[in-house]
Structure 1
Amino acid sequence: MKKVVLLIIIALVAALALGRWMAADSGYVLIIRDSVSVDTTLGFVVLMALLGAVALVVLTLLGNAAWNAMEPVRATRRWKKAVAERRLRSGFLQLVDGEQEKAERLLVAAGEDGDWPLVAWLLAAEAAQEQDKVEASQHYLEQASTDRRGRLVAGLMKARFALDDGYPEQARSELKVLADMAPRNKRILNTYAEVLESQKDWQALCALMPRLKRAFGEANQARRERRAWLAWLQETARKPGFNDADSRRDELRKLWKDVPVHLKNDPAMVARYAGFLAQLGGGRGALNLVREQLGNQWDDRLPPVLEAIDDIPPDDLLQVLEKW
């Protein structure tokens, strides 16, 4: 808008200057061709030249518009786009009304010819999925994925469809790729975390926690992080097929080193770890850990851990309890 105003001002100033120049001396122009001669003022010639230029521009614009309106290829393309827009609107309304078959047919046609193929293919996939046409919905999502902006949303819909159909592994595989592509996408990360929780893959969930905390904030993920690490500790301590208590105890101690520092100061986390350690024959280490934690802050969940210690004489444990 500023450029247009500036051009208008420049044109007015130029016209004013030209008018003053012509008023001071109108000039004289003589044109002779064979036996024909034309004489006029310079102002009239300049005016005719300007009017001719304006007329040429106007005629060019009108001719271009007429050609665009009459040219067969462009007219056909515009007609197809108009039809595709109507199909997209109608398909969406049919989908809302529960007419999935009609909606799918209209939306596929809109995706092939319209200006909004991404929206059309995504809605077509939704319509096909509601009809249990898995192959068709996957095909439509593949079409949507060809759009640069559609890769993430199409992948997320693939994962959702896989979960609805009872294929969590397929959903997990898709979400892992999406999480690597968009490490700050909250919806993808949250869905991925929910899938890992449902599969009880605590190791993968704990590995994902740094990204979850960056995306949602540490306060919003505190309960999930604590729950995941507690479950992983329990899973390690009670791993099936691990009859050697010493090996399980060593693995548990190794895992404890990886626990975040702020969770190592959590009384519930310490009590759970110390209890598992005591059950696996690490009573001395469990007692030292409980004693150290209670020295910093008293918590009623820690003393009961001593009940699980069976490799330290009861009299020694009684002396510790009496001191507390």
Structure 2
Amino acid sequence: MKRIVLLIVVVLLAALALGRWMAADSGYVLIIRDDLQVDMTLGFVLLALLVGALSLVILTLLANAAWNAVEPIRATRRWKKATARRRLYSGFLQLVDGEHERAERLLVASAQEGDWPLAGWLLAAESARERGDVDGSQRYLEKAGEDRRGRLVAGLMKARFALADGYPQQAREELKVLADMAPRNRRILETYADVLESEKDWAALCELMPRLKRVFGDADQARRERRAWLARVQEAARKPGFNDADSRRDELARLWKTVPLSLKNDPAMVARYAGFMAQLGAGGKALELVRHQQERDWDDRLPPVLEAIDDVAPDNLLQVLEGWLANRPGNAAVLITAGRVALKARLWGKAQGFFEAAANSSQSATALAELSRLYQSLGDSSKMQNTLERRARLLAEQLPDLPQP
């Protein structure tokens, strides 16, 4: 726009300068040919030349337009393109109406001759797919993929068809290529992540998470990231090929170093990691991790980790648990864990006291089950029967209200 305005200003200045020059001296032109003699002013000559040039340009444009309208090759090409557009429109309507065979013929013809071959090939692939012609559908998608702009959408359709046919590995390979080609394409990344999650390839999904978070945001992908890392920790702890606890523990410790910092403070993640470490003989480290997490942010899912610790003296564990109870009296999770640790220490009376406190404070079905088992072992049948009845009533309250015989 600025260039056009500048050009107009230059033309006006040139015309003004020429006008002033002609006004000062109009000039004189004399043309003599044999007996013909023509004389005129210079201004008239210049004006005649300008009008002639403009007329020549206009006539040339009109002649070119007329020739394009009647020239056989171009007229044929325009007719073919118009026909292709009609076929594309009609084929799309046939596809919507479920006339897949007719739609495919129209759409293929449109793709071969029209201005929008990509749309024609993609819709033809959908039509062939609906007819059950898998090979034809793939062939049309290959045609669409030859277009620079069609590579992504054709690849995404291939992946979608592969998933529908029960070939997730094929879909995954296609999506991996597409994700590398378009690292910020939301639909491709989300589909790829869904495939990895369905295949339970947690390592690949965790590797993809930074790109997902950049595109979708941390909050949108927080639950997926949490699921992936929780599953990956469990997978590492139970990884086949590690026949001894030391190897599994070392593998788990190496993996923990790669866990995102935000998840290292997640109670569920800490509970799972510490629980596996306790089972694999690193009870001291697990206890330290749980205590540190509880000091920072208390969570009832963490005390049960202490039940799995066998390489720390039960008396030391009870000291930690009783310290927690001093600040949180009546906490059922701590009381049940304390009762079970007391059983490991063969402190029957202490265990009974913890279980009774848990049962009285929260009516916990787990506490009642542990208490009834302890009463039975102690030979107190009456208390065992009463505890079982309490547990049965508690469970009955959680059942739906249905007719009974």
Shared fold by TM > 0.5? yes
> Greater CA deviation, 255-264 or 34-43?
34-43
Say whether 1:80 aligns with 2:58.
Answer: no
1:14-93, aligned counterparts within 5 Å?
26-93=26-93
Q: Which residue does the alignment assign to 1:248?
A: 248
| DSSP-derived class of the 1:200 partner | coil
Counterpart Cα distance in 1 of 2:221 and 2:42: 83
Counterpart Cα distance in 1 of 2:254 and 2:44: 98
| DSSP-derived class of the 2:31 partner | strand
Say whether 1:259 aligns with 2:267.
Answer: no
Question: Residues 245 and 51 (structure 1 numbering): CA distance in 2 closer, same or farther, change over 3 Å?
Answer: same
1:21-170, aligned counterparts within 5 Å?
26-170=26-170
> Greater CA deviation, 66-75 or 152-161?
66-75
CA deviation after TM superposition for structure 1 residue 203, in Å: 0.8
Once the two structures are superposed, residues 101-150 of structure 1 have per-residue CA deviations (whole angstroms, 9 ceiling, x without a partner) of: 11111111111111111111111111111112111111111111122211
Higher relative contact order (CA 8 A, sep 6+): 1
Q: Which residue does the alignment assign to 2:274?
A: 274
Say whether 1:226 aligns with 2:223.
Answer: no
Counterpart Cα distance in 1 of 2:27 and 2:42: 5
CA deviation after TM superposition for structure 1 residue 192, in Å: 0.5
CA deviation after TM superposition for structure 1 residue 318, in Å: 1.6
Question: Residues 322 and 21 (structure 1 numbering): CA distance in 2 closer, same or farther, change over 3 Å?
Answer: closer
> Greater CA deviation, 302-311 or 235-244?
235-244
| DSSP-derived class of the 1:301 partner | coil
> Greater CA deviation, 311-320 or 85-94?
311-320
Counterpart Cα distance in 1 of 2:290 and 2:8: 84
Identity of aligned pairs, percent? 77
Once the two structures are superposed, residues 144-198 of structure 1 have per-residue CA deviations (whole angstroms, 9 ceiling, x without a partner) of: 1122211111111111111111110000001111111111111111111000000
Which residue identity does 1:183 align to in structure 2? P
CA deviation after TM superposition for structure 1 residue 246, in Å: 2.6
Question: Residues 261 and 16 (structure 1 numbering): CA distance in 2 closer, same or farther, change over 3 Å?
Answer: closer
Which residue identity does 1:235 align to in structure 2? E
1:185-204, aligned counterparts within 5 Å?
185-204=185-204
> Greater CA deviation, 49-58 or 105-114?
49-58
Question: Residues 233 and 4 (structure 1 numbering): CA distance in 2 closer, same or farther, change over 3 Å?
Answer: closer
Counterpart Cα distance in 2 of 1:111 and 1:75: 19
Q: Which residue does the alignment assign to 2:216?
A: 216
Counterpart Cα distance in 1 of 2:288 and 2:79: 81
Aligned length: 324
> Greater CA deviation, 121-130 or 226-235?
121-130
Which residue identity does 2:106 align to in structure 1? L
- Cα RMSD of the aligned pairs, angstroms, is 2.2
Q: Which runs of 5+ in 1 are unaligned?
A: none
Q: Which runs of 5+ in 2 are unaligned?
A: 325-405
Q: Which residue does the alignment assign to 1:286?
A: 286
CA deviation after TM superposition for structure 1 residue 96, in Å: 1.5
Which residue identity does 2:322 align to in structure 1? E
Once the two structures are superposed, residues 13-52 of structure 1 have per-residue CA deviations (whole angstroms, 9 ceiling, x without a partner) of: 6666656665665544322222332334444433332322
Counterpart Cα distance in 2 of 1:94 and 1:109: 14
> Greater CA deviation, 130-139 or 45-54?
45-54
| DSSP-derived class of the 1:299 partner | coil
Counterpart Cα distance in 1 of 2:35 and 2:160: 89
Once the two structures are superposed, residues 250-298 of structure 1 have per-residue CA deviations (whole angstroms, 9 ceiling, x without a partner) of: 2212211211122111111111111111222222221222122223232
Q: Larger Cα Rg: Structure 1 or Structure 2?
A: 2
